[in-house]
Structure 1
């Protein structure tokens, strides 16, 4: 596995996006375990896109304007829903003093949906992964699986680190109502802006 692949993947993973925003929100309001659940859900949401890239389905998505638009607008609606829930003090920024196992399952599910409803991820992996597979590779599928596993592992580790850092300052944040109001507005705006960005995305 090349250093170029690892560095490029790291840059992609640490860049703020919906997954990072969601993981931070879960950490600040529900603690470290919740942030790990959110990070796991977001990472799991990458798997269908990687599978699509390996099976060639992303090429179909890229070619079909209808399929791309359908998935894109589902993602836009979901991100706007997340923004609305955040403003209503529900969803990602609902403060839970006691997080049950059922809540963690819900966090995983939301994180999964956030990433699976982004069609740009499938197209990204189609363009990204083949660059690191040589033309004379004897087992290209196995190589792609290896790169995909490394990318997902890196995503999980980075998101968990983001979450644990946010969880470490959680007590100082949730005890200040004014700070929480500001954070809700900031996170809601973040989800809405990412939704708008996805709405204007082209194939």
Structure 2
């Protein structure tokens, strides 16, 4: 199966399309950048790992038919999307209520980084549009000579790995620019407000999208 997958004539096209899509800034990238600018490189990379894990769950879910269920059931889609919007809103309010750390962002302990990972995972896994994206995108590259479900899983894992790399590049770039930004007056407070605004804005966007779909 692995040999057939590697010799799939559509694989180069998949890699190119995945790279373009993963590198294009979207809500996930905005969330990761906000975390990085507010809390530092390690927090940003923890968010990347959490988002990638959530996306992997959605990719596997799409492969086994979860996306088909969400497509058929507008109620299931709306419930999951509203849950994601509420979680994003909670994170935004939590960010506003939390004072900026007195130590550098890269000095986070394991417990704090685990919580940041969890937040990134929840943000990604509670976005049903990701599962629908995989369900629409991955079949374009499935070879009829091999099992479709296994191919779909392999393509999904590959896409998540590509996105993991591009998101990490965004984090490292933002982290490199962060020292210059931190020299500005009131920069830590501004970063906290910016992060909260991004999270709440994403929550409103997700809720509005769910509302328009349910009509």
The alignment partner of 2:186 has SS state of: helix
* Range with bigger deviation, 62-71 or 38-47: 62-71
Larger radius of gyration: 2
Pair 1:17–1:95, CA change in 2 (3 A):
farther
| Residue of 203, 206, 209 corresponding to 1:198 | 206
Say yes or no: does 1:154 pair with 2:134.
no
Superposition deviation, residue 177 in structure 1? 4.0
What do residues 52-74 of structure 1 show as CA deviations (whole Å, max 9, x unaligned)? 11111211112112211111111
Two-structure CA RMSD over aligned residues (Å): 2.2
* Residue 191 of structure 1: how far off its partner (Å): 2.2
Does residue 83 of structure 2 align to residue 74 of structure 1?
yes
Q: For residues 60-71 of structure 1, what are the structure 2 equivalents within 5 Å?
A: 60-71=69-80
**2:188 — aligned with what?**
180
Q: List aligned pairs for 1:1-203, cutoff 5 A.
A: 2-89=11-98, 96-97=103-104, 98-134=107-143, 136-201=144-209, 202=213
User: C-alpha deviations, 1:9-48, integer Å up to 9, x for none?
Assistant: 1232223233222322332233322222111111001122
Alpha carbons 2:60, 2:153 under 8 Å: kept: no
**TM-score (normalizing by structure 2):** 0.82
Q: CA deviation at 1:94?
A: 5.2
Tell me the distance in 2 between the aligned counterparts of 1:54 and 1:70.
Answer: 21
Residues 17 and 96 (structure 1), Cα distance of their counterparts in 2 relative to 1, 3 Å cut: farther
User: How many Å apart are 1:175 and its aligned residue?
Assistant: 3.9
Q: In the aligned structure 1, how far is the partner of 2:154 from the partner of 2:116?
A: 27
Unaligned regions of 5+ residues in structure 1, if any? none
Q: Which shifted more, 142-151 or 93-102?
A: 93-102
CA separation in 2, counterparts of 1:44 and 1:94?
Answer: 26
* Structure 2: tracts of 5 or more residues without a match: 1-9
Shift in alpha-carbon separation, 1:157–1:95, aligned structure 2, 3 A: farther
Superimposed CA distance per residue, residues 76-112 of structure 1 (whole angstroms, 9 cap, x where no aligned partner)? 111112222333345xx75642211111111110110
Q: How many residues align?
A: 200
Instruction: Classify the secondary structure of the residue corresponding to 1:46.
Output: helix
